[in-house]
A and B are shown apart, each in its own frame.
Chain A
């Protein structure tokens, strides 16, 4: 049985202009020890769907799902108290903005210690020992002296690693990493990604990696899920996704990669993602799609797994076209 099984997740925000659908019927499945990557345009609901799962959205968010099962427990049915025992321990998250998720008033050592006390009930000496181990694990030099440092005394890359150490403190079964390396230099990014992958291997930890960097996806992920305007539009094994994308959005996204350019001009996707007020009926990608046909403005079909579960009436298929 899979570690995580989320079906038909929707999130609506109450806004001044009415309800806004940020996540629209998304499925997310993740096996134990698997690396799943979620990619997609900014604002496509990647972060919000993760926060919904962790119960970290504000009250203005209305969450609906047919199923939300983690590690055999139905997250929609358990009490708040039980959920708190899971979140931060078995299911941990590294947030998009590292600085804002560390408390500036407390030392790194104190914050790590609190997390260990809460989740593992360790005593003082154990906490100190484990904190040093964790900082060492994430490659922070001289970890003993860093315990007494405040977040502002560390560089952005170091803070990001402290965040990762904290997320790892409860030995999570699932680590959700939301743009964990965007703020970092490539040489530091390479260190962090290697670390995450080695942990995933050693500890059988599942990893959901959200990133804009298709290079990171290609080198790290096993399976990739593509989101567009709050919907899951495709899902494939990483090699298949890069070589034989089925949804026109995935294909257009990959074509925009500078690495793939032939000549100076990059094939860009015209227009922008629909917003709250110009959401089309039918396929949400239709206004920007190079393959749009009349029937795209009506019902949209979910294709089979062989076609990447593409949410598209006219999926691309390199094998057939070739």
Chain B
């Protein structure tokens, strides 16, 4: 199996807030993520708002460059000036309402990546756009329509079609179904599954909906405040979470079964400010298992059975 993305200790730090009388602060939006994403596989990234999921997405798609760490795309160091790399990795954003330019026809939206990155003729571009529309289950004759003439699920398919125009090998999907109705979500997830099976695409799938992740992911990476706290095969992590945060996250996710027994761990407190993270393990103020050690030094991600966990007192 070929490796699509290999990331080692990726970091992205932002300086914020420096004013006339204030020292600038440092937000460690992403503070060391390592992972491998293989062709044809789905790696899901989960975690609370602000934990660095979109930052990771921007690094992998080369929209931003990492502060530290290395990123390889298909075995070569990521290079945003390489046309091949720019084509290889494409992104689909959360909101199908704002990610498409309302003044452009679907034709323009779909053909734009081809115009920018290839020397295809107008005729070939049009053909390819029509083919791609069919591929995501849209009617090619709607190519002259504007985005507002489509429903949310159809718009998200247009966004997926746009991402497919350059024959990418990797799709970064940043909350691709969060804004959609359940019935439409199912349509879009099915299309993603079909495309992966047909084209061997690798997905970096960002979502806060664990039921979706459980359904679609091969591997899962749980993040907390810029750091990976647990990662492994989705089936292992869901069946037996080892990090206290993963466990809390799973137990807090409502189960769509009114007769199921529920045992919920209700976390107290909020995600701390990334400008002022707690000393030691970042999760310690909310963790029921925290010891003195946890408050002074930060645990590293280490192998534990089938998964990797960053915790001094793993559970389960």
Contacts and interface: CB of A to CB of B under 8 A. Distances in A.
Interface in A230-254: 238-239, 242-243, 252-254
A219 interface: yes
A185 B211 contact: no
Interface string B80-121: 000000000000000000000000000000000000000000
Contacts of B185: 256
Contacts of A158: 270
Contacts of A238: 258
A41 B181 contact: yes
Interface stretch (B25-33, B60-68, B69-77, B248-256): B248-256
Contact of A218 (B208, B249, B256): B256
Interface in B167-219: 181-187, 189-190, 193, 208, 210-212, 214-216
Nearest to B209: A258
A242 B267 contact: no
Contact of B257 (A156, A190, A259): A259
Interface stretch (A5-13, A14-22, A170-178, A266-274): A266-274
Contacts of B151: 272
A215 interface: yes
A185 B271 contact: yes
A130 B186 CA distance: 46
A259 B193 contact: no
Contacts of A254: 256
Nearest to A155: B270
A42 B264 contact: no
Interface string B139-180: 000000000000111100000000000000000000000000
B48 interface: yes
A268 B255 contact: no
Contact of A216 (B187, B215, B254): B254
A269 B184 CA distance: 7
B20 interface: no
A218 B257 contact: yes
B269 interface: yes
A257 B256 contact: yes
B1 interface: no
B95 to A, nearest CB: 13
Given A155-B270, A215-B253, A219-B262, A185 B208 contact: yes
B210 A186 contact: yes
Contact of A242 (B211, B256, B264, B271): B256
A264 B186 CA distance: 11
Contacts of B208: 185-186
Contact of A185 (B48, B187, B254, B264): B48
A267 B258 contact: no
A248 B211 CA distance: 23
Nearest to A264: B193
Nearest to A265: B190
B256 A190 contact: no
A112 B285 CA distance: 29
B291 interface: no
A191 interface: yes
A268 B181 contact: no
B49 interface: yes
B266 interface: yes
Interface in B204-246: 208, 210-212, 214-216
Interface of A is mostly: helix
A42 B269 CA distance: 32
A290 interface: no
Contact of A213 (B189, B254, B268): B254
Nearest to A40: B181
B254 A269 contact: no
A30 B152 CA distance: 32
A187 B186 contact: no
Contacts of A186: 48, 208, 210, 249, 252-254
Given A185-B271, A190-B266, A269 B186 contact: yes
A185 B49 contact: yes
Contact of B267 (A42, A191, A215): A191
Given A42-B181, A187-B248, A252-B183, A259 B259 contact: no
A256 B186 contact: yes
A65 interface: no
B254 to A, nearest CB: 3
A253 B252 contact: no
Contact of A266 (B190, B254, B267): B190
Interface string A179-203: 0000001111111011000000000
A257 B211 contact: yes
Nearest to B286: A187
Nearest to B187: A268
A118 interface: no
B222 to A, nearest CB: 12
Interface of B: 48-49, 151-154, 181-187, 189-190, 193, 208, 210-212, 214-216, 248-249, 252-260, 262, 264, 266-271
Given A212-B182, A272-B184, 16 more contacts: A42-B152, A186-B208, A187-B266, A191-B267, A193-B254, A214-B256, A215-B253, A219-B262, A242-B258, A258-B216, A259-B211, A266-B186, A266-B189, A268-B184, A268-B187, A268-B190
13 contacts: A41-B183, A158-B270, A186-B48, A186-B253, A187-B248, A190-B264, A212-B181, A216-B254, A218-B260, A258-B212, A266-B190, A268-B183, A269-B183
